[in-house]
Amino acid sequence: MPISTNDLRNGMTLDLPEGLFAVVEFQHVKPGKGGAFVRTKLRNSRTKAVIERTFRADEKVEQAVIEKREMQYLYRDGDQYVFMDNTSYEQLNVESAALGDAASYLKEGDSAVLQMYGGEIVDVDLPAAVELTVTETEPGIQGDRVSGARKPATLETGRVVQVPLFVNSGDRIKVDTRSGEYITRA
């Protein structure tokens, strides 16, 4: 639905010719000379790239209404992830490419909020941190306590994160889903 650039708000999603963009920041500017305009920072919903764009004041742009559905990840079927809607119990097969980076944090039984626009998944909301089990890492050596030293660890979802030297295979750790970094042992 078309809206005026004067009505932009942070978090609003716009359907521009270049794709779907979320408003990160906006500023109404009224210079002494000339017409007013709106300076914005927009984040591409698919690539996460941030662009700056200036619109004339009261220019019409298309607002995208994003449907958020809370779903539970059931299992993986080849290259697809099978989710179940928590309210309608309808199952949805999702290509791993549509999930992007979120796929490496999901394990069976986890809940996620899928953001959909026109039947297409545009983003996945995960909890800020998830607990995952370390499946493979080099054993920590007794006395090897170099401050801040890290080693790679493979998690049950296949994701590799850098962990402190004292973390061993079989340990459960908390990982930040926004940065992909180790937080603490669970």
CB-side exposure of 93: number of CA atoms within 13 Å? 5
Q: Which of 62, 85, 109 is the last residue of a domain?
A: 62
CATH of the domain at 74: 2.40.50.140
Burial class, 134, CB count within 10 angstroms (exposed 0-12 / middle 13-18 / buried 19+): buried
Number of domains in the chain: 3
pLDDT reported for residue 48: 81
Q: Are residues 135 and 180 in the same domain?
A: yes
**Residues β-bridged to residue 68:** 115
What does the pLDDT look like over 151-167, one tens digit per residue? 899 999 889 999 888 88
User: Distance of CA 79 to CAs 50, 103, 119, 167, Å?
Assistant: 29, 11, 19, 31
- 32: CB partners within 8 A, 6+ apart: none
Query: How much is the pTM?
Result: 0.72
pLDDT reported for residue 82: 92
CATH of the domain at 37: 2.30.30.30
Domain housing 118: 67-125
Q: Which two tokens stand for residue 3?
A: 């809206």
What does the pLDDT look like over 64-112, one tens digit per residue? 988 888 999 999 888 889 999 988 989 988 888 888 888 888 888 889 9
**Position 141 confidence tier, pLDDT thresholds 50, 70, 90:** low
